[in-house]
Structure 1
Amino acid sequence: MHPMLNIAVRAARAAGNLIARNIGQQDTFEVATKNKDDLVTSIDKQCEKVIVDTLLKSFRDHGIIAEEGGVQGNPDSEYQWIIDPIDGTTNFVQGIPHCAVSIALRHNGKTEIGVVFDPMANEMFTAARGSGAFLNGRRIRVGSRDSLDGAIIGTAFPTRYRDRMHAYLELFSRLISNCADVRRMGAASLDLCYVACGRFDGYLEQGLKAWDFSAGDLILREAGGIVTDFMGEPNYVKSGNVVSGNPKVLRALLQVCDVQNLPAILK
C-alpha cells in the first residue's frame, strides 16, 4: 500500500472507532447547529483531532483542510489533506448506522489518495491515483448498466439551498420517471463509493464541499467511473454540483438533468 495511504487508513480507523462507540448516544456528547440542517457534535471534533494528529505526526510539513477546524498545519504546502471526520453527522446523532470518515490528499491540486471508512459496516474504501480502487483490499469497479432502465440512483435534496428546491423537485420527478428507484442516504462520500463498487448505478447532488466529495471522487474515478458537474464539465470541484456514474449512465443522467431548462439548480 502507498505509504501515505497507509497512514490515512490508520487515521480513518482511529476516528471510526470513536464513531462506533458513540453513535446514537446523544446523552454522552454535545450537539450544536452550525446552520439550519447542519449539525456538529463533540465527537466530530474528537474524530478530527485524532485524524489531524495522526497525519501531522507523520507529515509535519503538510497542510490540512478540515470541515470543523478549517486550515491547519502548513497552508503553503504542496500537500493538502482534506478531511470530513463524520460525513453523515445527522445519521450519527440519530443512531442511523450510515456515516463515514472521509480523508483525501491533494498534491499540487490533484487528488492522489482517497479513503472513505464506514465503521458500522467495517468497510474501508481506498484509492491511490493510477492504482485502482479497493474495498477492504478487494478491487472494485463501477457497474456495467448501459441506461437508466432498472438503475438505482443516489441523490440528496438541497436542504441547505431551499430556494433551489422547486427546480430540484422537477429534476427529481424526471429522474424517478426514468430509473428504477432513488436512494437518499445522507452521506455523500459513501454515495460515491457505492457507485464505485456497483451498488448504485449513479449519483447526483449539488452544493457539496470539498471534504464531502474529494475522497469519494477519486475512488469512483479509479473504479472506472466519471464525475462531472450538471453541465457535463469538470467544474464540480469548484461548484460542488456532482453527477456521476459509468460513461453511459452519466450521459443518461445529464440528459435527464437538462439544465438549460432548469437554470435555478445551478445558482
Structure 2
Amino acid sequence: MADTKSSATDVVTAADRASEQWLREQLAAARPDDAVLGEEYGAEGAAGASGLTWVVDPVDGTVNYLYGLPAWGVSVACVVGDPRTPGAWRTVAGAVGAPVWGELFHAGLGQGAVLQGPDGRERSLAVTSLEDPGRALVGTGFGYDAGRRREQGRVAAALLPQVRDLRRMGSAALDLCCVAAGRLDAYYEKGTQVWDHAAGVLVVSEAGGVVGGLGGAPLGDPVVVAGGPSVGSWLHDELVRLEA
C-alpha cells in the first residue's frame, strides 16, 4: 500500500515507515546519545548530545520498490554537524545496502570505500579514470514537481549529445555508489535531500571521486554532482554553463 507526499508521483509505502522505525530502534539502542534524522519521521525522537546525527533513508527508490524493480536501497550515514542545514555537516561514516542486488557499499572517513558482494567477499572501490566526456555514462534523476522536471529535461537534452549516454536509475544513493564502483562515470541531480546523498557522497569521495555542489555551493543546494576526477570536473563545469 502506498500514500503520496509532495505530489501524486512522490510515494511512500508502509515498508518505508516500518524500515525507518526499525532503524531508529536499533540506533537508539546502540547509540543513545546520537540524534537521528530520517526521511519519513524527520528529526522526531532523541535530540542527541554527542554531536553526531544518523541520517537515514529507509527505502531510497520507493517507486522502484513499489513496482518490483531492483534498484532501491537503504541509506544510513553518520554526520557531524547539522544535516538540516546545507554546508553545516560532513559525513564520517556511511553505508548503502541494495537488498535485491545482495550488495552493501560502505565507507569511513579516511578509510576508503568497500563493496561487500552477494558472496560476502569485500573489495575496495575506485572511480573510473576516464578523461573523455564523450565516452562517459552519466547517471541522473528527476524530481516530482512538473516544473522542475521540465527544467531537468532541458539540461538532460543539452548533455545527451556530449556523452556516451544518460541513465536514470531512480535511486540517488545507488547512483552515487555506482559512481564509486565504476559502473557510472559521473552522476548529477537537482533537488536531492540530505538523506538521499549523505551516505553516497562519502562512498564516492573515499573511492577517489570528486563530489560537491555547483560553483562552490553546498551539496544538494540544489545540485549534487559526482564522478571520476576528470569527467566529474567536466560535468560540474558544464552544469554551471547550462545553469542547471
Q: Normalising by the residue count of structure 1, what TM-score does the alignment of the two structures yield?
A: 0.82
Superposition deviation, residue 76 in structure 1: 4.8
**Aligned counterpart, 2:101:** 121
Other structure's SS at 1:112 match? strand
Question: Can you give the 5+ residue segments of structure 1 that lack an aligned partner in the other structure?
Answer: 1-29
In the alignment of these two chains, the number of paired residues is: 230
1:256 deviation in Å? 2.5
Shift of 1:60: 0.8
Report what 2:78 is aligned to.
105
Letter in 1 for 2:235: L
Out of 220, 223, 233, the residue aligned to residue 241 of structure 1 is 223
Equivalent-residue separation in structure 2 for 1:154 and 1:101 (angstroms)? 19
CA distance in 2, matches of 1:158, 1:35: 10
Displacement of 1:171: 1.6
Instruction: Decide whether the 8 Å contact of 1:147 with 1:252 is kept in 2.
Output: no
What is residue 150 of structure 1 aligned with on the other side?
A: 135
Quick one: distance in 2 between partners of 1:187 and 1:55?
A: 23
Cα shift at 1:246: 1.4
Q: Which aligned runs of 4 or more in structure 1 are off by greater than 6 angstroms? A: none
Whether 2:41 is the aligned partner of 1:57: answer no
Q: CA deviation at 1:130?
A: 0.3
Give the alignment partner of residue 227 of structure 1, picking from 204, 211, 216: 211
* Alpha-carbon distance in 1 for matches of 2:203, 2:6: 29
Contact 1:210/1:240, CA 8 A, preserved across alignment: no
Question: In the TM superposition, what are the counterparts of 1:43-192 in structure 2 within 5 Å?
Answer: 43-71=15-43, 72-108=45-81, 109-136=89-116, 137-160=122-145, 162-192=146-176
SS, match of residue 35 in structure 1: coil
Give the Cα separation in 2 of the matches to 1:92 and 1:166: 25
1:40-77 CA-partner distances (Å, limit 9, x unpaired): 11111111111111111111111000000111222454
Letter of the structure 2 residue corresponding to residue 35 of structure 1: S
Change (3 A) 1:86 1:170: same
- Measured against aligned partners, the alpha-carbon deviations of 1:24-43 in whole angstroms (never above 9, x if no partner) come to xxxxxx21111212111111
Query: Contact 1:158–1:206 at 8 Å: present in 2 too?
Result: yes
Deviation per CA, 1:153-200: give whole Å up to 9, x if none. 00012333x323443323212211111111001000000000001000
Instruction: Output the amino acid matched with 1:56.
Output: A
Give the Cα separation in 2 of the matches to 1:47 and 1:258: 37
Q: Would you tell me which structure has more helix in proportion to its own residues?
A: 1
CA distance in 1, matches of 2:11, 2:68: 14
CA shift, 1:254, in A, is: 2.4
Q: Work out the CA distance in 2 between the residues paired with 1:48 and 1:201.
A: 31
Aligned equivalent of 1:25: none
Superposed displacement of residue 230, structure 1: 2.8
**C-alpha contact 1:227 1:234 (8 A) present in aligned 2:** no
Stretches of structure 2 lacking an aligned partner (at least 5 in a row): 82-88, 117-121
Name the TM-score, length of structure 2 as normaliser: 0.89
| Contact in 1 for aligned 2:139/2:188 (Cα 8 Å) | yes
2:184 paired residue number: 200
> How far apart, in 2, do the equivalents of 1:240 and 1:158 lie?
12
> In the alignment, which residue of structure 1 is the partner of 2:193?
209
The answer on whether the counterparts of 2:210 and 2:233 sit within 8 Å (CA) in structure 1 is no
Matching residue of 1:252: 234
